[in-house]
Structure 1
Amino acid sequence: MLRNLYALLVGIDEYPKPGDCLKGCVNDIKAVKDYLEQRFASDNYQLCIQTLLNKDATREAIIKGFQKHLSQANSNDVVLFYYSGHGSQEENIPEEFLRFEPDKKNETLYCYDSGLPGHWHLADKELNKLIREVAVKDPHICVILDCCHSGSGTKDPSPDVVERSAPADQRSRPRETYLVGVDELAELCTSHRSKRSSTGWDFMGRHILMAACEDRDTAKEVEINGKKRGIFSYCLLESLEQPGKLTYRELWQKTTNAVSRELEKRSRTQFPQLEITPPDQDNLLFLDGAIAERVSYFTVRHDEKSGWVIDGGGVHGVQPPAGEETTVLALFEFDCNVRDFQDPDKSIGEAKVTEVLPQKSKLEISSDTNLSTESVYKAIVISLPLPAHGVYIEGDAAGVTLASEAIQLATMGNSPSVYIRQVTNRDDAQLWLQCRNQEYWIRLKDDDRSLVAPIQGFTPDNAKRAIERLEHIARWMTIRDLSSPPASRIQPDDIEMELLFEGENGSPKEKEIRRQYQYKQGDLKPPKCQLKLTNKSQKSLYCTVLDLTDRFAVAAPFFEAGYVRLEPGQTALVGNGKYIKFTVDRVLQEQGITETKDVFKLIVSTAEFDARLSTQHALDVPRVLTKCSFKQSTLNRLMDRVQSRTAGFEEEETYDDWYTTSVTITSVLPSK
């Protein structure tokens, strides 16, 4: 079926005030337009591009671009809004808006006429409304903003670097000049919001946001190859030049590395951001929306201060060296196919972890490996320093033999699994694999229940599937058991995590929380709570909450960027104060399961990190033979779309620290 790609491309260099003018925004937009025409002008796409440059990019024209152009998109279509220009802030906002803004300011796009008398900026709430209106028909929406809104209006002292931030508007703006009415504010914002996202933008509706920088950072334009360009736009388009398709995560990783590399030459920094709603869709293909196969890997890059590093550290479960043993990784070209991870001939070398920091790890590259410091690579773990989880295999000889062989061939190059190991002593096993009646059963020690659906048939392929599931569960256990380093300077009371259950005063103090469904107006309603984080320390802290489910999914569903930054004394109500429901999925109810658990894993660091690296999908639901087989609790928030539900919302080099703790919530259906 032919898909429409509706693009609204906005670039502004020539502002009416000479001091506001830029030089690279129009070049950015022309390059984006060229890319779209070259890559998407095919039998599969109908390109519908509207371009607004300089004096044509007024506030009214941008609004009409959304309402008349982008709003044509239907569920099978793709929408791109690309803005290259100044960002800014409005300081004297209407009184009705104040309770929705912790900093008492609106974040804005600085349109061509925004600085003229009688004309205004395009505020975040207005842009939010425009995006939400486009999202009604459920197209795939991507928003890319190469601007910043620090509001300082300061100039970089270097003539080669210009910051895309206009001075804050200090005029008092009448309420009636906004697209958003007072009655809409509660829908577009929430009075519970106490901390905005890492970019400063808070948009509703299903979408992807790629932003040039954090809200406290600045987007820069520089001269490259004789042309002024936004460094973010230039690096993003360079990353897209490779053959094949990239996921949003891959594109963000490549772009971030390229931006860092280019700005290191100029002694500057800038940190692009990727925010996704819903947060677990980072494996969608760029300007496509199709879901790519999810495979766990790290990104390898060269850092000017640290040398070669991966983007995984202690908060992601990377193990530090233990004596002579350490984590070993196989390296691949960034544009490799995920199936290449199983082929040693496709590997370009190996690396060893020499030091584990909270959000990254330092590497020693093998002497026979030639890497370019200008490039970024992918890496997978092929050896771990600590003992893998023990698996005891018992039962029918044919099944045992195949499973034992599969463990020894589980890693690239037909090497033994790095996550599990076969043990001969039952007491050394954390997991059991039973081979009986032509089925593979995975269970815990001293528990006859199958953790996942049994695999039927003793064949090499089925034995491989069983081992892959055991590895999946072992990775889940590693995240669950993640503990703070002994020397951490982050104290347990530096961050307070509160679960505010509906109808209750205060947050439970216990680590094991149990709540039942309640009858309300004749219907059974699941327990639900708000999740609140408060920084009680005297330092800035980066926080995330992982959701570990009973189907062995690890999700980072609560923050669009994978984390939230809290300043001293600052509070964040997760999901802008929306309630999180803990439901027993109907599929589970039909199998006699009446209790489910979610483990909420709080991870705190003094440095930015990406918790989304730890995520993995859910495994399938075990078969229930009798209802009495499931009297005890199980964990639950199933990420699998077919057989699962979500514990989701109701509708100089610094050596950083980190800390973690957990809370378990059990949701119980009453007996019938």
Structure 2
Amino acid sequence: MKPKLQALLVGINQYPPPVPPLEGCVHDVGQMESYLRSNSGDFNLDMEILINEKATKAAIVEGFQRFLAKAGPGDTALFYYSGHGTQEDADPALWRFETDQKLEALVCYDGIVETERETTFNLLADKELRYLIHQLSQKGPKIVTIFDCCHSGGNTRNTYVAEQMAGIRQRRYHPSRLSAACPARPWEQFIFAKEVSPQKLKTEPLPVALPAGPHIQLAACQSSQSAYEQKGKGAFTTGMLQLLEATAGQISYYSLAHRLRYLLKKNFDQSPQFYAAGASEGDLFQGFLGRKIEGTGLGGNVIYNDKAGWILDLGAMHGLNESVKQVVVKAVGGGAPITATLGRIEPDHSILNFGPASFSKLKAGEVYQAVLEGGLLAEPLQIALDGPEEALAPLKASLEQQPGISLVASGTAADYTVRAQPRGLIITPPGEPNQPLTRAIEGQGQEAANLAGAYLKHIARWSFIKSLYNPDSYLFNGHPVKIEFFRVQPSGSLKPMAIEGDEVKTEYEKLSGIWSGRVRIKLTNQYKRLLHVSLLYLSSNFQVYPRLLSETVIQMEPGQEAWAFEGNNIELDLPRQVTDYKLPYSPGYFKLIASTQEFDVSRFEQPPLPAPSETDDNKLRSIKLMSPFEAVGDDWSARLVTLLVRNPLI
């Protein structure tokens, strides 16, 4: 039986005064409807559409709680909105979660109504959407939200400015107030008011007081940008549907959003945003609306930009450098490959150069992917082999063909040693034959060799991210973002933890008979410009987790603070492998990346490798997851801080 797709589509052109009308939102909904009906072979489609006066706040809330709630496990619930976005002043109870003290909001049809006596506000705020999505997630479906409006990168079209050059307008509403935000509402007007009190939000972390449900979000722009429409069409929706049609829907959320980002840059100052909120590893690399696709999302996307030319969405942060001699570009729909060379390499993307003959074969509207020879997102590893030669022969032959792997003699400065034992292959530190780093790989034939090679590739990616830094940084004097660790005391107070040489050392404490502990992490932008910031967690089992912050990459204004896990406690775990092998510390690594340019770290994410002990699979990590001359230009920086928690049993 095919899964269901419950799709709630909302579009508003005509608003009551004083909200100015839009032109393309109803058209956008019609295009979305047409696309879904024409591409519904993989699921049973059930659709509800709210247009103009039917798109009241009450109707949208009911659409979530009644219509979308029909989706269950294995199904997909899609919410699409095209219309105005705005901001409203936040209640003081929410200030610690909103550094600008404002909420992002959708302007429903009855969101702002003006009469002779007063103006009333009935907006659908981002925290209300959070509440609705969490309710919906309890039913078990995959949830996808798409917003073609302004202030959408943080919720969930911008001030209606009179500059409508060439038929371009913005989808944003600002009231005529200096704050450029709608006034704060009485608490009882929030749809969650009966369940969530202001006091609860003042004293508890946001994930506890108002949890978020797992979902994929695609948004037209950053919260500080405008979403544009031109010639009666939303730029974001039009571009998205063009890419979906060009790829026959065989595209991941990641590739879709990345291609859109570069596609729109040529005409509009809007940068589509995407993230997986609370979703499982790799969800961004799943096919759009659950369609099956090939690949893991690690291939490069190639898109044409009128200003920059042909762009590859891989850059210095992904290991791309001048040593890459050529890039092979292939059209998704087939055709002969085309060879390019690398031009300028930026942190998150690169410029491709084509010869005249190759350039004439390219079409600006075509969808292309890049094929690069090894070394991408991988640290070169030196591997020693230890054991009977015949047992290691398949592995040796396999590793000799694997890019980035160098075989060295045992006893030399190897990064890791693969040892052949009677029970199979184990990977260990070079001088620790009895300290496996992963589950033993059973057997010693080709299948075991292939799996060992896959483990080493996984480790090489982890090592690359762990050692990532910018040797050519020139704007920053030190790291531009301050990171602070705090130990949560039994009383709930926070005690600063010293960082010495990029290491933080602490102890476990016994709580209810279990070795545990609680810490919190705070970031502060110390630089004079807005920065894009990400905080990654790397476990000793080779996991890379990019969602310690509210999004994989957040924007931080000068002086702005942000807390990991939205201010929630980070619980310390004592992994069994630390006690079994009498390791002095349980290590965890935090990679802090900051850039003046937008970047993305979704490609970095990877799950942990199987733990050495079968009973240790649920304890894979040490934390529970959850001048007179002024330089100008762009720069990026990375810092690794290691948290060492002492083994209390030795």
TM band (smaller chain): 0.7 to 0.9
Query: Does 1:208 pair with 2:226?
Result: no
Of the structure 1 ranges 230-239 and 110-119, higher mean CA displacement relative to structure 2 is found in 110-119
Query: Does 1:10 pair with 2:18?
Result: no
Measured in 2, the distance between the counterparts of 1:550 and 1:303 equals 41
Measured in 2, the distance between the counterparts of 1:580 and 1:395 equals 41
Measured in 2, the distance between the counterparts of 1:294 and 1:424 equals 33
Report if aligned partners of 2:573, 2:619 keep a CA contact under 8 Å in 1. Answer: no
Partner residue of 2:393 out of 392, 401, 408:
401
Who is 1:392 aligned against? 384
Query: Does 1:240 pair with 2:244?
Result: yes
Measured in 2, the distance between the counterparts of 1:350 and 1:531 equals 46
Who is 1:176 aligned against? 188
Who is 1:340 aligned against? none
Q: SS at the partner of 1:659?
A: strand
Distance 1:354 1:94, change over 3 A: closer
| 1:579-618 superposed matches below 5 A | 579-585=569-575, 596-618=586-608
Distance 1:19 1:395, change over 3 A: closer
Who is 2:372 aligned against? 381
Query: Does 1:440 pair with 2:418?
Result: no
| 1:195-594 superposed matches below 5 A | 204-223=212-231, 228-241=232-245, 242-243=247-248, 245-260=250-265, 264=266, 267-278=267-278, 280=281, 281-288=283-290, 294=296, 296-318=298-320, 320-321=321-322, 325-326=323-324, 328-334=326-332, 348-365=337-354, 369=358, 370-384=361-375, 388-409=380-401, 417-424=402-409, 426-427=411-412, 429-437=414-422, 439-448=424-433, 449-503=435-489, 504-510=494-500, 511-520=502-511, 522-559=512-549, 561-585=551-575
Who is 2:99 aligned against? 102
- C-alpha deviation, 1:185, in angstroms: 5.1
Q: SS at the partner of 1:465?
A: helix
Report if aligned partners of 2:161, 2:169 keep a CA contact under 8 Å in 1. Answer: no
Whichever residue aligns with residue 470 of structure 2, its letter is S
Report percent identity of matched pairs. Answer: 27
Who is 2:67 aligned against? 69
- C-alpha deviation, 1:247, in angstroms: 2.4
Whichever residue aligns with residue 231 of structure 1, its letter is A
- C-alpha deviation, 1:99, in angstroms: 5.4
Who is 2:45 aligned against? 47
Whichever residue aligns with residue 444 of structure 2, its letter is F
How high is the TM-score relative to the length of structure 2?
Answer: 0.85
Measured in 1, the distance between the counterparts of 2:622 and 2:27 equals 44
Measured in 1, the distance between the counterparts of 2:379 and 2:277 equals 38
Measured in 1, the distance between the counterparts of 2:260 and 2:298 equals 19
Measured in 1, the distance between the counterparts of 2:379 and 2:12 equals 57
Distance 1:574 1:329, change over 3 A: same
Measured in 2, the distance between the counterparts of 1:563 and 1:402 equals 42
Measured in 2, the distance between the counterparts of 1:384 and 1:5 equals 40
- C-alpha deviation, 1:486, in angstroms: 4.1
Distance 1:183 1:445, change over 3 A: same
Report if aligned partners of 1:100, 1:191 keep a CA contact under 8 Å in 2. Answer: no
Report if aligned partners of 1:190, 1:576 keep a CA contact under 8 Å in 2. Answer: no
Distance 1:270 1:294, change over 3 A: same
Report if aligned partners of 1:328, 1:384 keep a CA contact under 8 Å in 2. Answer: no
Whichever residue aligns with residue 393 of structure 1, its letter is L
Whichever residue aligns with residue 170 of structure 2, its letter is E
Q: SS at the partner of 2:465?
A: helix
Measured in 2, the distance between the counterparts of 1:73 and 1:22 equals 31
Of the structure 1 ranges 64-73 and 606-615, higher mean CA displacement relative to structure 2 is found in 64-73
Q: SS at the partner of 1:505?
A: strand
- Give CA deviations for 1:84-108 in whole Å, capped at 9, x if unaligned: 11111224x5555555543233321
- C-alpha deviation, 1:305, in angstroms: 4.2
Measured in 1, the distance between the counterparts of 2:202 and 2:289 equals 30
Query: Does 1:661 pair with 2:644?
Result: no
Over the aligned positions, Cα root-mean-square deviation in angstroms equals 3.5
Measured in 1, the distance between the counterparts of 2:469 and 2:499 equals 20
Measured in 2, the distance between the counterparts of 1:56 and 1:329 equals 51
Q: SS at the partner of 1:418?
A: coil
Who is 1:341 aligned against? none
Measured in 2, the distance between the counterparts of 1:2 and 1:442 equals 42
Report if aligned partners of 2:84, 2:107 keep a CA contact under 8 Å in 1. Answer: yes
- Greater RCO structure (CA 8 Å; 6+ sep): 1
Measured in 1, the distance between the counterparts of 2:183 and 2:604 equals 45
- C-alpha deviation, 1:34, in angstroms: 1.9
Whichever residue aligns with residue 248 of structure 1, its letter is Y
- C-alpha deviation, 1:534, in angstroms: 0.2
- C-alpha deviation, 1:452, in angstroms: 2.4
Of the structure 1 ranges 136-145 and 239-248, higher mean CA displacement relative to structure 2 is found in 239-248
Distance 1:390 1:252, change over 3 A: same
Distance 1:446 1:72, change over 3 A: same
Measured in 2, the distance between the counterparts of 1:189 and 1:258 equals 40
Query: Does 1:144 pair with 2:132?
Result: no
Q: SS at the partner of 2:132?
A: helix
Measured in 1, the distance between the counterparts of 2:453 and 2:633 equals 37
- C-alpha deviation, 1:329, in angstroms: 3.9
Distance 1:438 1:106, change over 3 A: closer
Measured in 2, the distance between the counterparts of 1:105 and 1:557 equals 23
Report if aligned partners of 1:513, 1:664 keep a CA contact under 8 Å in 2. Answer: yes
- Give CA deviations for 1:42-75 in whole Å, capped at 9, x if unaligned: 5x63332211101111122222222222233333
- C-alpha deviation, 1:556, in angstroms: 0.8
Distance 1:603 1:513, change over 3 A: same
Measured in 2, the distance between the counterparts of 1:335 and 1:208 equals 26
Distance 1:193 1:23, change over 3 A: farther
Report if aligned partners of 2:84, 2:149 keep a CA contact under 8 Å in 1. Answer: yes
Distance 1:76 1:455, change over 3 A: closer
Who is 1:113 aligned against? 110
Unaligned 5+ segments in structure 1 are: 197-201, 337-345, 410-416, 628-637
Q: SS at the partner of 1:399?
A: helix
